[in-house]
Amino acid sequence: MQGTEDPGQPEDHDDPRDADVELIAPEDFLPRNPFPVDAQRMGIDRWSDDAGMIAIAASLNPAKLSHKIFAWLMLLGVMSWLLMQLWFELSS
């Protein structure tokens, strides 16, 4: 038995005003944005030129030694290319 409910009335479980209904927003299905707030303010998104490097750098944890080593290697890679280009321009 259903109790005191009127058998002639169908139950309405889809009422959004019902307190037991949990609404899911479309943003719940989107992946989180891997970019820091500062980069988002500058307009950097996943389609920007250097977005991959920024996303990797933003995901590094400074408490882990391996992440610190990887950050230094990334910095060395970027700076070595810049210094090499500067050397070629000044020596020519």
What domain count does the chain have? 2
Q: How many residues does the chain have?
A: 92
Question: Which residues are within 8 A (CB) of 57 and not within 5 positions of it... i.e. 6 or more apart?
Answer: 71, 74
Is residue 49's pLDDT more than 60?
yes
pLDDT band (50, 70, 90) for residue 66: very high
Residue 23 lies inside a defined structural domain of this protein: yes
Residue 80 lies inside a defined structural domain of this protein: yes
Find the mean pLDDT for residues 40-66.
85
Is residue 85's pLDDT more than 70?
yes
Owning domain of residue 80: 62-92
Same domain? 47 vs 72: no
Same domain? 46 vs 73: no
From residue 5, alpha-carbon distances to 2, 19, 71, 84 in Å are 6, 19, 65, 81
Same domain? 52 vs 68: no
pLDDT band (50, 70, 90) for residue 41: confident
Residue 12 lies inside a defined structural domain of this protein: no
Burial label, 35 (beta-carbon count in 10 A; 0-12, 13-18, 19+): buried
